[in-house]
Amino acid sequence: MAMITVTKSLLPILAIVLLFSTTVNSQGLVVGFYNSTCPNAETIIRNEVIDILTKARTLAGPLLRMFFHDCFVNGCDGSVLLNGTKTDPAERDSIPNLSLRGFSAIDKVKAKLEAACPRTVSCADIVAIVARDVVVLTKGPTWDVLTGRRDGNRSVSNDALANLPPPFVSAQQALNQFYIPKGLDAKDQLVLSGGHTLGTSHCSSFNDRLYDFNKTNKADPRIDRFYRKKLEDKCKPNDQTTLVEMDPGSFLTFDNGYFKQLAKRRSLFFSDDTLMLDPINRAYIKRQALDGADTTEFFTDFAASMIKMGNIGVLTGTQGEIRKHCALVNK
């Protein structure tokens, strides 16, 4: 089993610290929300994430992805964690979420918090803090996570299908239909897509680009032909199970490597590839793709966009609830 060794003393070295005001924001969130009710909450979460990644390094990407998939569907309310039934499927049962992993990791973190501070720390905040921690622990930036979210009790499969941008639409379509309605802009879309530096994707998410682009029975001509050949060797038509690194050779490290792939037309997803069609995006991507490019710009921008995304549709105050088990609405 692959191992990762990270000590708390190394964490400042692994990150660029983004200072953030501790005043309550317009959504009612605040840095240090649990300082008096569960003062060790973030330490407990960090220690559990270290343990999780020590045993399964490949969970970093999925745990980051979980935060995106939670926030984009009815806001950052932990609803992606709720179980559904055969007659009432939940968000996690929807096609875009069938490949999500890391639910048991969130349950592990929640169990530790419940033992220390029962019914205090929301599942929504756990998802947000875990996403930050996996980025830090894979050598990415850090930021102060605004907390105080409460957990929603609605989780409907069709909501996920309607709100998560699919990989086969253009970047412009995704921006207009999914990002802007949620208060995010083109810069957010670009830098959040840079999060694809972590993790893997199933062949089924991009096989159409290899074998039947736009129903032509041909490959997408935008894909670099050498990269396409490598993908075809890994992904046969109708392959639903094979996993491919999104940032080859660097998929366990948070860096600007995904932009280097984009600049070479070696991205898996049509939605990411077409980011290059916008001149502002293209200039940004090319800056990150330069040999020896500093990560400061991307890291600072990514942290800011993660904070911004974490404000989408939050429940605070007496709204929602604090679940005892993240997969179940309280009874």
Q: Is 114 annotated among the ligand-binding residues?
A: no
**CA-wise closest residue to 16 among 127, 121, 140:** 140
Q: Is 247 annotated among the ligand-binding residues?
A: yes
| 322, HSE (Cβ side, Cα atoms, 13 Å) | 18
Residues 6+ apart with CB under 8 A from 313: 71, 74, 75, 76, 77, 182
Q: Is 77 annotated among the ligand-binding residues?
A: yes
E strands along the chain, which residues?
30-31, 146-147, 200-202, 243-245
The one-letter amino acid at 94: S
Residue 216's alpha-carbon distances to 1, 210, 232, 273, in angstroms, are 42, 11, 17, 19
Say which of 65, 69, 260, 266 is annotated catalytic: 69
Q: Is 79 annotated among the ligand-binding residues?
A: yes
69 labelled catalytic: yes
127 and 81 Cβ atoms separated by less than 8 Å: yes
Rounded to whole angstroms, the Cα distance separating 88 from 153 reads 13
> Which tokens belong to 77?
């309310």
Residue 108's alpha-carbon distances to 13, 17, 22, 52, 250, in angstroms, are 27, 27, 28, 9, 27
Q: Is 144 annotated among the ligand-binding residues?
A: no
Q: Is 73 annotated among the ligand-binding residues?
A: yes
**CA-wise closest residue to 61 among 211, 233, 195, 220:** 195
Residues with catalytic function? 69
Q: Could you tell me which residues are annotated as the binding site for substrate?
A: 165
Q: Could you tell me which residues are annotated as the binding site for Ca(2+)?
A: 70, 73, 75, 77, 79, 91, 197, 247, 255
Q: Could you tell me which residues are annotated as the binding site?
A: 70, 73, 75, 77, 79, 91, 165, 196-197, 247, 255
Q: Could you tell me which residues are annotated as the binding site for heme b?
A: 196
